[in-house]
Amino acid sequence: MFDRSAFHRWLGLRAEAVGPGSIEISARWRPEWVVRPKGEPTHGGILAALVDVAADWALYSRTGRGVPTIDLRVDYHRAAAPGDLTVRGEVVNFGRQISVAEATVINADGVLIASGRGVYLTKPPTS
């Protein structure tokens, strides 16, 4: 399912490991990610998207379906220079209606670039 998303393919994402309530994703750097034409830092919106994708898919590993984002908070710890990234998502609290998951974005040197926490609607859909 992860690879079916055109957005994931455009971002260069690949699910590397999935466990109950967790996921690790590799993000292959793209020139379109830069915020300035000189090829400087990765745009914060890309980092926020990575956090949301990882947190959402950590929940997918528990629900077996996509879940809508209710709220998302992202902390930017340092600028992300061009280069591949690793994103790890983990369920923090799995509820019957609303759940919480966190994610971290790490560069190739193991340095924390961004982290975040999302709230997601995990209530089963009504028929």
Measured distance between the N- and C-terminal CA atoms of the chain, rounded to whole angstroms: 22
Q: Is 113 contained in some domain?
A: yes
* CA distances (Å), origin 108, targets 16, 34, 40, 80, 102: 15, 17, 16, 10, 20
Q: Is 18 contained in some domain?
A: yes
Q: Is 19 contained in some domain?
A: yes
Q: Is the pLDDT of residue 127 over 70?
A: no
Q: What is the pLDDT of residue 4?
A: 82
Who has greater pLDDT, 38 or 6?
6
Q: Is 52 contained in some domain?
A: yes
CATH code (residue 59): 3.10.129.10
Residues 6+ apart with CB under 8 A from 39: 31, 82
Domain range enclosing 39: 2-121
- The model's pTM is 0.93
pLDDT tens, residue by residue, 37-92: 776 789 999 999 999 999 999 999 999 898 999 999 999 999 999 899 999 999 99
Q: Is 7 contained in some domain?
A: yes
pLDDT tens, residue by residue, 79-119: 999 899 999 999 999 999 999 999 999 999 999 999 999 99
* CA distances (Å), origin 20, targets 35, 38, 62, 98, 127: 35, 41, 6, 17, 26
What domain count does the chain have?
1
Q: Is 127 contained in some domain?
A: no
Q: Give the pLDDT band of residue 13 (cuts 50, 70, 90).
A: very high
Q: Is the pLDDT of residue 1 over 80?
A: no
DSSP string, 23-79: EEEEE---GGGBSSTTS-SBPHHHHHHHHHHHHHHHHHHHHSS---EEEEEEEE-S-
Q: What is the pLDDT of residue 17?
A: 96
Q: Is 14 contained in some domain?
A: yes
Q: Is 126 contained in some domain?
A: no
